[in-house]
Amino acid sequence: MKKNRVRRFRSPYLPIRPAIKRERLVIALEKQIKGFLFQCSMCGNCLLQETAFICPMLCPKGLRNGPCGSGVDNRCCVEPSRPCIWHLIYKQAERLNRMDRLMEIQAPLDGERVGHETWGTVLSKARERGLLSLMGVLRGRHRREEFQRLFRDLRQPDWWQGDDHYHPPASFKPVSRLQASLKRGEFVVTAEVHPPAGAGADHVQELAHQLRGRIHAANVTENPMATPRMSSLACCLLLAQNGIESVLQLTGRDYNRYFLQSEALGASILGIHNVLCLTGDPPMASRGPASGLPFDLDATQMLWILRRLRDERRFLDGRFVSEAPRYFLGAAGSPNDPDPAHEALRIEKKVNAGAQFIQTQLVYDVTTFQRWLQALDQRSLLTKVHILVGIGPLHSVKTARFLNERIPGVFVPPNLIERLERSLSPEQTGIEIALELIQQVKALPGVAGIHVMCLGHDSILPRLASLAG
């Protein structure tokens, strides 16, 4: 494929407020120079200093805190002909010894600044400190720190104030049965449930009846593969009415900053306290028509917003929350990432933002999973977060191949595919493999439980949950 370095990944951002006259010249200059050097699309909230001088807005999802975990072989999941821009950022940050700069939690775009310049703003902030400190920036002993402070002011507005520290929850008192079980050290089982593609409750009620007493919580998906179904919140409520505790999924693809906060407040008052924050599958996974818009939020930003809503009782806009909501917050992990050190950095950022449990992508290769656990341990994460390992029974050779070819971040080793090929009853063999995997991961230090995904065959769930004990 012909490489065109100057071609921008996305069209330039359009300002929602017109530029004033004296700003226009700076905008035109910045657009030309940064467009040529960095393929800048003028998001107006520049992060180049923190992303090893590669523009993160080249990511089609518009992610500002790291990769989405959906890319395969370091290619972009939205446009596979291109490399994942976050993979390039990590590589360059390693080369330039700037990995620590990737840890700061970055704000979502400030729409007021979109399409406007950043150079003029940096200069006026320098001027606010007086000419002497401006000279200090250029010549002084602390010029590096001063220089960084100028850009920090720009990228960390008062309404966000992201940092690179761990923020433990304000209270460790469990808010749900799932959290209480994890705190007691029980080996927990959660199961993935897809809401019905219709307005009927029968399927959910039937499943709840079969799962009652067999799992700790049902994790209810939110529009998987960018395909609309009943909302996760409605389905969580149905399950609660039928005696099953649930985990609500919220995705950056489907929720913007306003709806996220209102939905999460509503969930808390309805008694749904387990919340899993995900960035979301790419819109191209849908049957179409696909949305072309970048995501308003990523999973890390969602965790940061919900943790502050709970612990600091503050909305994103600074208003005080009258009654603090209660959440047990979770995020996703990709143990099959070819570079566990990079993935550990991504997980640490989510834990720092507020994640209390990590639910992993499907695991079929325990050796690779162990490497990922070790990378997490090296960052002292296993004492801060509960790990739930994704387990999915394979129904057939076709399913195994489908997972390898079509589902990002999943790898079924060849020996398991051969075992299914030799089997007279592949479905039974798939369950046996799943049970073996459960026994193996259960023995690993740092594993707190499993999350069972039945890959569209919900009827297997109760049987597997029983067999797994």
Residues near ligand SF4 (CB under 6 A) are 34, 38, 40-43, 46-48, 55-57, 59-61, 63, 67-68, 70-71, 76-78, 84-86, 118
Burial readout 344-383 (b: 16 or more C-beta within 10 A, e: otherwise):
bbbbbbbbbbbbbbbbbbbbbbbebbbbbbebbeeeebbe
Minimum distance from CB of 31 to ligand SF4 (Å)?
Answer: 9
Minimum distance from CB of 453 to ligand SF4 (Å)?
Answer: 21
Q: Give 209 or 406: the residue with its C-beta nearer to ligand SF4.
A: 406
Q: Which residues pair with 420 in a beta bridge?
A: none
Q: Give 37 or 135: the residue with its C-beta nearer to ligand SF4.
A: 37
Minimum distance from CB of 456 to ligand SF4 (Å)?
Answer: 24
| HSE value, Cβ hemisphere, 13 Å, CA-based, for 312 | 18
Q: Give 33 or 170: the residue with its C-beta nearer to ligand SF4.
A: 33
Minimum distance from CB of 41 to ligand SF4 (Å)?
Answer: 5
Q: Give 84 or 137: the residue with its C-beta nearer to ligand SF4.
A: 84
Minimum distance from CB of 260 to ligand SF4 (Å)?
Answer: 20
Burial readout 48-73 (b: 16 or more C-beta within 10 A, e: otherwise):
bbbbbebbbbbbbbbbbbbbbbbbbe
SS3 450: strand
Q: Give 34 or 342: the residue with its C-beta nearer to ligand SF4.
A: 34
CB 108 within 8 A of CB 303: no
CB 283 within 8 A of CB 253: yes
Minimum distance from CB of 128 to ligand SF4 (Å)?
Answer: 21
CB 275 within 8 A of CB 251: no
Summarize the chain as % helix, strand, coil (round to 5). Answer: 45, 10, 45
Of 184, 192, 303, the C-alpha closest to 247 is 192
Q: Give 86 or 364: the residue with its C-beta nearer to ligand SF4.
A: 86
Minimum distance from CB of 95 to ligand SF4 (Å)?
Answer: 19
Side chain identity at residue 241, one-letter code: Q
What is the CA 371 to chain-centroid distance, rounded? 21
End-to-end CA distance of the chain: 52
Q: Give 35 or 140: the residue with its C-beta nearer to ligand SF4.
A: 35
Please count the helices (runs of H) and the strands (runs of E) in the chain.
16, 8
Minimum distance from CB of 13 to ligand SF4 (Å)?
Answer: 7
Q: Give 112 or 312: the residue with its C-beta nearer to ligand SF4.
A: 112
